[in-house]
Amino acid sequence: MGFGNDFAPVPLRSGKVLSVGRTGGARYRSRSGGPMPRKRPFVASLNEVRITRDGETAIIEYADPDVWTTHFKLGAEVQTMSDEEILERWNRGVEATEDFIAEQVYVAVEIPPGRPQLQWAERAEQWTPRGG
């Protein structure tokens, strides 16, 4: 963890080098060659993030390069807020999002075998998937 090697190239076994970006770190690839998904931001402490300011926005960069960097728009007050205040507000939002996600109930609607999986939607004038 840390921010010391933000610009270091990442060598691969093949001898190629992955490009790196200031806030994004290396652009990792999955075994299939496609980009790997980044991790969602999590409730963090001050030693797990770096907070910078750009106008009315706080930029929250996690020490773990696999976690999304966030541009958290707070308005002009961001210039007078401490890092602790910014992080406290950010963490409250992350907690609220996690609580909301945990409360959601997903019910998969299975299409019976042999029945069409698409249906024509007159209002949208396009084919749409059946189910939920």
pLDDT in tens, 12-44: 444 444 444 444 444 555 556 667 778 899 999
> How much is the pLDDT for 106?
85
Q: What is the DSSP string of 43-98?
A: ---GGGEEEEEETTEEEEEESSTTBPPEEEE--GGGGTS-HHHHHHHHHHHHHHHH
> How much is the pLDDT for 132?
60
61 belongs to a structural domain: yes
> How much is the pLDDT for 3?
47
* Phi, psi angles (nearest 5°) of residue 110: -85, 135
How many structural domains compose the chain?
Answer: 1
92 belongs to a structural domain: yes
26 belongs to a structural domain: no
120 belongs to a structural domain: no
> How much is the pLDDT for 28?
54
**pLDDT tens digits, one per residue of 42-101:** 999 999 999 999 999 999 999 999 999 999 999 999 999 999 999 999 999 999 999 999
Q: What is the pTM of this model?
A: 0.58
Q: Which range marks the domain in which residue 66 is found?
A: 37-103
113 belongs to a structural domain: no
* Phi, psi angles (nearest 5°) of residue 131: 100, -165
